[in-house]
Amino acid sequence: MYTTKITGLGSFVPEQIVTNDDLAKIMDTNDAWIQERTGIKERRHIKKGDGNSTATMGAEAAKIAIERAGLTPDDIDMIIFATLSPDMYFPGCGVQVQELLGMKTIPALDVRNQCSGFIYGVSVADQFIKTGMYTNIVVIGSENHSGGLDMTTRGRSVSVIFGDGAGAAVLTRNETATQGILSTHLHSEGSYAKELSLMGPSTGHWVPELIAEDPKEEIPYFPYMNGQLVFKNAVVRFSEAINEGLQANGLEASAIDMLIPHQANLRIAQFIQKKFGLSDDQVFNNIQKYGNTTAASIPIALTEAWEAGKIKEGDLVVLAAFGSGFTWGSAMIEW
Ligand code: UT7
Nearest CA to ligand 1 atom 3: 323
Task: Assess contact for 125 and 135: CB atoms under 8 A.
Answer: no
Does residue 84 have a pLDDT over 70?
yes
Cα 236 to ligand 1 centre (Å): 19
Q: Would you state the pLDDT for residue 306?
A: 98
Q: Would you state the pLDDT for residue 59?
A: 98
Domain boundaries of the chain, sorted by first residue? 3-178, 181-334
Q: Would you state the pLDDT for residue 81?
A: 98
Does residue 94 have a pLDDT over 70?
yes
Cα 97 to ligand 1 centre (Å): 35
CA distances from 73 to 56, 103, 169 (A): 15, 6, 13
Cα 227 to ligand 1 centre (Å): 6
Three-state secondary structure string covering 221-266:
CCCEECHHHHHHHHHHHHHHHHHHHHHHCCCCHHHCCEEEECCCCH
- Single out the residue of 198, 101, 112, 111 nearest to residue 149, CA to CA: 198
Residue 201, preceding peptide bond in cis (omega within 30° of 0) = yes
Give, for ligand 1, the residue of 115, 231, 238 to mutate: max count of ligand atoms closer than 8 Å to Cβ.
231
| Mode of pairing for the β-strands spanning 136-143 and 165-174 | antiparallel
Q: Percentage of the chain with pLDDT > 90?
A: 91
Give, for ligand 1, the residue of 35, 149, 157, 287 to mutate: max count of ligand atoms closer than 8 Å to Cβ.
157
Q: Would you state the pLDDT for residue 312?
A: 96
Provide the residue type at 154 as one letter.
R
The finding on whether 154 has its CB within 6 A of some atom of ligand 1 is no
Q: Would you state the pLDDT for residue 217?
A: 64
Q: Percentage of the chain with pLDDT > 70?
A: 99
3-178 fold:
Peroxisomal Thiolase; Chain A, domain 1 (3.40.47)
Q: What class is the 181-334 domain?
A: alpha beta
Nearest CA to ligand 1 atom 2: 323
Q: Would you state the pLDDT for residue 203?
A: 85
E-only strand ranges, the chain:
3-12, 17-19, 42-44, 78-82, 108-111, 136-143, 165-174, 180-188, 196-197, 224-225, 258-261, 316-323, 327-334
pLDDT, average across residues 287-296: 98
Q: Would you state the pLDDT for residue 209?
A: 80
The finding on whether 29 has its CB within 6 A of some atom of ligand 1 is yes
Q: Would you state the pLDDT for residue 279?
A: 97
pLDDT digits 0-9 by tens, 139-170? 999 999 999 999 999 999 999 999 999 999 99
Provide the residue type at 150 as one letter.
D
Nearest CA to ligand 1 atom 11: 265
- Beta-carbon contacts of 174 under 8 Å, excluding residues fewer than 6 positions away, are 2, 3, 4, 5, 180
Same fold, 3-178 and 181-334: yes
For the chain, the average pLDDT equals: 96
Torsions phi, psi for 84 (to 5 deg): -110, 0
pLDDT digits 0-9 by tens, 182-228? 999 999 999 999 999 999 888 888 887 877 776 666 677 899 999 99
Q: Would you state the pLDDT for residue 13?
A: 98
DSSP letter at 132 equals T
- Which contacts (CB < 8 Å, 24+ apart) does range 242-247 have? 242/272, 242/276, 242/318, 242/320, 242/330, 244/185, 244/330, 245/182, 245/183, 245/185, 245/318, 245/320, 245/330, 245/331, 245/332, 246/332
pLDDT, average across residues 315-330: 98
Q: Would you state the pLDDT for residue 220?
A: 79
- Single out the residue of 250, 264, 267 nearest to residue 334, CA to CA: 250
Taking each continuous run of H as one helix and of E as one strand, the counts in the chain are 11, 13
For the annotated catalytic residues, the residue numbers are 115, 262, 292
Residue scoring higher pLDDT (213 or 302): 302
